[in-house]
Amino acid sequence: MEAPRALPRATVRSAARLPLRAADDAVCTAFDGLIDGRDDHVALSFPLKRGGAPLARIHSECLTGDAFGSLRCDCGPQLEEAIRRCSAEGGVILYLRQEGRGIGLAAKLEAYGLQDGGLDTFAANEALGHAADGRDYRVAAQMLLALGFHRIRLLSNNPDKASQLAQAGVEVVAVEPTGLHESAHNQKYLDAKRSRGGHWL
């Protein structure tokens, strides 16, 4: 296994209490010095309820699923699950502005049209000239390290997240799977995540 690659150090830019419907003790944190140059990735953290490594979830923004309740994907239910579990156990959600596997909202809607024509979520991104999955989780590692989290339990079904964190110097002591949030509308999407993305579903 490769040695971890040192990343530039990110710092906390601002933090504020953010009471949520599901948890009134959350804190939202923004950062400076992230390697992609953005300042709109945020961490949503909850007080630790027990010793050991905190639970951490890397969640890529999905406006359609997170805010509108789209059934095309499992993003909204995964975010709700992460908030519920992190608030109960203590931990942090890294909310990354990487809509559509990194292609942005407008392109994601274009990709939806191609998916309606038969392509899967990865092939649709490629047909538009993008990487199948262009997300970079090193910014999540920077955020974790800036918060003082060097060891975590990762809440995820995506092996790439664990791999990228480990290469960036965050020790993943355990990977805990998210629930399988299936519906009649997202079965092909989940099948593609399993077959092309290597997700543990």
In a domain, 108, yes or no: no
In a domain, 113, yes or no: no
Question: What residue has token string 């390290």?
Answer: 145
Domain count, the chain: 1
Report pLDDT digits (tens) over 74-118. Answer: 999 999 999 999 999 999 999 999 999 999 999 999 999 999 999
Q: Which candidate, 74, 76, 67, 13, places its Cα nearest to that of 40? A: 13
Mean pLDDT of 13-19: 97
Report pLDDT digits (tens) over 177-196. Answer: 988 777 877 777 667 767 66
Range of the domain at 73: 11-98+135-195
| pLDDT for res 1 | 46
CATH number for the domain harbouring residue 94: 3.40.50.10990
Question: CA-CA distances (angstroms) from residue 124 to 60, 116, 192?
Answer: 18, 10, 11
In a domain, 30, yes or no: yes
Query: Residue 87 in contact with residue 26, Cβ under 8 Å?
Result: yes
In a domain, 2, yes or no: no
Q: Is pLDDT above 80 for 197? A: no
In a domain, 105, yes or no: no
Catalytic residue among 135, 136, 160, 196: 135
Assess whether 133 carries a catalytic annotation: yes
In a domain, 1, yes or no: no
Dump strand ranges (E) for the chain.
11-17, 27-32, 42-46, 55-60, 91-96, 151-155, 171-176
Strand partners, 172: 152
In a domain, 106, yes or no: no
Mean pLDDT of 27-32: 98
| Chain center to CA of 95 | 6
In a domain, 130, yes or no: no
Mean pLDDT of 33-46: 96
Catalytic residue among 74, 85, 133, 153: 133
